[in-house]
Amino acid sequence: MNSSSVLRKHSLKNVLSILESRFFSSSSEATFETKPFKLHKLENGPSTTVSLSSEDAIKYYKQMQTIRRIETAAGNLYKEKIVRGFCHLYSGQEACAVGMKAMFRDTDSIITAYRAHGWTYLMGVDPFGVLAELTGRKSGNARGKGGSMHMYAKNFYGGNGIVGAQVPLGAGIAFAAKYLGTGGVCFTLYGDGAANQGQVFEAYNMSKLWDVPVVYVCENNGYGMGTSSERASASTEYYTRGDYIPGIWVDGMDVLAVREAARFAIDYCSSGKGPLVLETATYRYSGHSMSDPGTSYRTRDEIQEVRQTRDPITSFKEKIIGANLVNIDELKQIDKEIKAQIDDAVKKAKTDTEIPLSELAGDIYSKPLETIVRGVSPFQKLEHIRIGPAVNLN
């Protein structure tokens, strides 16, 4: 065999090796390095060296891709005028929710603002239950009465429409966990726009006084409605703004970095050290809400650059394929299944019926002292009825 034949044979082996690594998953676990964490009043932080199993890689990918599909469907339904009222999308921020949820124990809970669709799904409501709630139908997780901003599940306290108001509520949920001795931690999410609310700092103070096990998570997507964080905040280092409360900055576009930050936060808060502030640096692709095109205060080029260089799903996909944790065909099949699931959920959410008028005043209270509820006027009265259990009643 001459030297040119040997060279061709060797080159063919290299090509086959590359193709095999791309199309056939061969590793059960891989190790990655995350961006460094920034720390405030902490000597040590989360590990930047993270391990990921093939099983978890597929799980996180499915969850992020499902949230992205749900939000795309929600936006389309809104444009069709089937979803009414307010609607705030989470597209671009999926790694924040999936990374945190990956470390939740059965005793841990979460409360967030109005970008709640993805969290509702992660906390146990199937996509149909989310989309049916958006369309105001009876199969929605709040029977169609909550809509986009008011969805709930076990250990998930919403979905809150008033800017920043969920922060002291989260401190209260965490206080209840400490008082009852459950060992649970409450993740309390808010945005950079809400970070300047006075009630946020009041909650900081009380929770530190009592060493309440609460993780304050500032999801910094760069804009509070149409105002950039630089124009709205004298200090944009939100992880330091707890002052006497330790804080961590994490790359919110990296699901593994967020997971490690959540792991550290749960260990820290559940060990009796009190609250922690976590800032996730992330980005939203859509406008603040569906009424905001999102291009009057930032350029289309800016959005496109983030999509191309920092997208949480695309970057994670490249990472797990490169580490041979999954293969391309597996992910294509997953994408196909998720698309079919969401398309089916959309069809059902469009055709499902609304609740009858008799249910309008159902489940307002867990233990109503009065069974007659005022309607739109004092002369139109409704009867309070019990339809389902109060899932978060201790």
Q: What mean pLDDT is predicted for residues 356-374?
A: 90
Query: 2: pLDDT confidence band, cut at 50, 70 and 90?
Result: low
Q: Are 148 and 158 in contact (CB under 8 A)?
A: no
Report the length, in residues, of the chain: 394
Query: 9: pLDDT confidence band, cut at 50, 70 and 90?
Result: very low
**Average per-residue pLDDT for the chain:** 93
What pLDDT was estimated at residue 108? Answer: 98
Q: Does domain 24-354 have CATH number 3.40.50.970?
A: yes
Query: Can you give the pTM of this predicted structure?
Result: 0.91
What pLDDT was estimated at residue 114? Answer: 95
Q: Are 105 and 155 in contact (CB under 8 A)?
A: no
> 31: which strand partners?
51
At 319-351, the pLDDT tens digits run 999 999 999 999 999 999 999 999 999 999 999
Q: Distance between CA atoms of 307 and 331, rounded to whole angstroms?
A: 19
Q: Which residue has the tokens 């009424």?
A: 291
Which of 2-16, 35-49, 55-69, 281-295 is the least confident region? 2-16
For the chain, the domains span: 24-354, 356-393
Q: Is the pLDDT of residue 195 over 90?
A: yes
Q: Distance between CA atoms of 172 and 214, rounded to whole angstroms?
A: 9
What percentage of the chain carries pLDDT values higher than 70? 93
Closest listed residue to residue 134, CA positions, set 92, 75, 91, 191:
75
**Angle at Cα 84 formed by Cα 375 and Cα 286, nearest 5°?**
140
Q: Is the pLDDT of residue 250 over 70?
A: yes
Q: Are 192 and 233 in contact (CB under 8 A)?
A: yes
Four-point Cα dihedral 286, 110, 150, 217, nearest 10: -40
What pLDDT was estimated at residue 26? Answer: 63
Q: Distance between CA atoms of 93 and 280, rounded to whole angstroms?
A: 9
User: Is 249 in a helix, a strand, or coil?
Assistant: strand
Q: Are 229 and 292 in contact (CB under 8 A)?
A: no
Q: Distance between CA atoms of 335 and 119, rounded to whole angstroms?
A: 20
Q: Is the pLDDT of residue 20 over 70?
A: no
> 156: which strand partners?
110, 153
Q: Distance between CA atoms of 385 and 363, rounded to whole angstroms?
A: 6
Helix, strand, coil percentages (3-state) for the chain, rounded to 5, are 45, 15, 45
CB atoms within 10 A of CB 281: 23
Query: 11: pLDDT confidence band, cut at 50, 70 and 90?
Result: low
List b or e across 72-84, with b for residues whose CB sees 16 or more CB atoms inside 10 angstroms: bbbbebbeeebbe
List Cα–Cα distances, 58 to 324, 325, 326, 338, in angstroms. Answer: 12, 8, 7, 13
* Contacts of 63 by beta carbon, 8 Å cutoff, 6+ apart: 94, 98, 101, 121, 122
